[in-house]
């Protein structure tokens, strides 16, 4: 059997996890079945490269010399955004592109593809912290800030670090089918397989990032009391504020009303339950604080343009 060569691009100041996560996913196919993959470490030149965290990795192959590469995995890290690294690598990436079946970037590895002109006109994503920079620096790319990964066929991009495993599982599924990819995910003890258009991070985390000390514990309080009919008075009392001051300060800091905030947390929790629990919609709606399953369905569809049942079918674990 002719092996498909999966290359992992090395450069100084790369993020080691961006490489190691997908590498272990491709390697773990050998734990499930006869693997069609051969894994290669590639650099601008042969030799040692050091990651941001200090891990040294050895490139045995030179990018410019490769003629039969199936897949090239490009990590992120500070190096991927360095003009010096881009100057060394981008021309080689552009030249080798016609000879590679597909390229995939992890995290800010998208900046190397972008600088090489390989994402022009395509949909792409990267780590949430850098999506604004990617969109501002490369106007020809359709940047999606909330996607875990985007697969264009011959070029794929993914968000931060662990989403590289999600993308690797997607590529393995494309090659070998869902059953093998599912078994690899189980072997790696990870969720199978988060779909690309799931959000990069949860709503409670988003609110926590915005909150100052006055609102720091509010998300936890709401999540602990989702089954109740929470009102502004209860939220204000939890934060030791008057209702008027709470409402004014909340909108100024969070950018939305308390009612919208509560509904967002209810629906975010509902998405989690739809994927992780075999519960009926009635039970889920009750757990999330809705008076009826119909009210839950309407709120869910209004927010996501997708019914709870369709969401469960689309995103549930295989």
- Answer yes or no: is pLDDT of 197 > 70: no
Tens digit of each residue's pLDDT (9 = 90 or more) over 49-69: 999 999 999 999 999 998 889
- Give CA separation, 281 vs 121, 300, 301, 303, in Å: 41, 11, 13, 17
**C-alpha to C-alpha distance for 36 and 1, rounded to whole angstroms:** 7
pLDDT number for residue 81: 96
pLDDT number for residue 191: 55
**C-alpha to C-alpha distance for 196 and 178, rounded to whole angstroms:** 15
- Answer yes or no: is pLDDT of 318 > 50: no
Tens digit of each residue's pLDDT (9 = 90 or more) over 75-114: 999 999 999 999 999 999 999 999 999 999 999 999 999 9
Record the pTM.
0.68
Domains of the chain: 4-188 (3.40.50.880), 203-315 (1.10.10.60)
Instruction: Output 198 or 90, whichever has higher pLDDT.
Output: 90
Q: How far apart are the first and last CA of the chain?
A: 29
């Amino acid at each position: 059997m002719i092996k498909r060569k999966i290359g992992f691009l090395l450069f100084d100041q790369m993020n080691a996890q961006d490489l190691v996560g997908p590498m272990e996913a491709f390697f773990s196919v050998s734990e499930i079945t006869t693997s069609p993959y051969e894994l290669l470490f590639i650099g601008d030149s042969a030799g040692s490269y050091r990651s941001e965290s200090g891990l040294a990795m050895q490139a045995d192959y030179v990018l410019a010399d490769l003629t039969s590469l199936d897949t090239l995995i490009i990590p992120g890290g500070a190096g991927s955004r360095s003009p010096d690294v881009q100057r060394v690598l981008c021309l080689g990436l552009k030249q080798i592109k016609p000879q590679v079946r597909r390229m995939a970037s992890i995290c800010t590895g998208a900046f190397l593809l972008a600088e090489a002109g390989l994402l022009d006109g395509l949909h792409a994503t990267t780590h949430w912290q850098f999506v604004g920079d990617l969109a501002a620096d490369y106007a020809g790319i359709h940047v999606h800030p909330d996607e875990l990964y985007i697969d264009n066929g011959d070029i794929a991009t993914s968000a931060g670090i662990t989403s590289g495993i999600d993308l690797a599982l997607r590529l393995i599924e494309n090659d070998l089918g869902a059953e093998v990819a599912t078994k690899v995910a189980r072997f790696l003890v990870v969720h199978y397989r988060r779909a690309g258009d799931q959000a990069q991070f949860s709503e409670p985390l988003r609110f926590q990032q915005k909150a100052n000390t006055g609102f720091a514990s509010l998300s936890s309080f709401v999540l602990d009391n989702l089954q109740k009919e929470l009102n502004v008075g209860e939220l204000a009392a939890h934060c030791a504020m008057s209702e008027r001051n709470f409402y004014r300060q909340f909108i100024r800091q969070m950018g939305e009303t308390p009612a919208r905030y509560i509904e967002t947390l209810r629906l975010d929790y509902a998405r989690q339950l739809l994927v992780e629990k075999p519960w009926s919609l009635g039970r889920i709606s009750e757990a999330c604080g809705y008076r009826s399953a119909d009210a839950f369905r309407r709120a869910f569809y209004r927010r996501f343009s997708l019914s709870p049942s369709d969401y469960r079918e689309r995103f549930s674990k295989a």
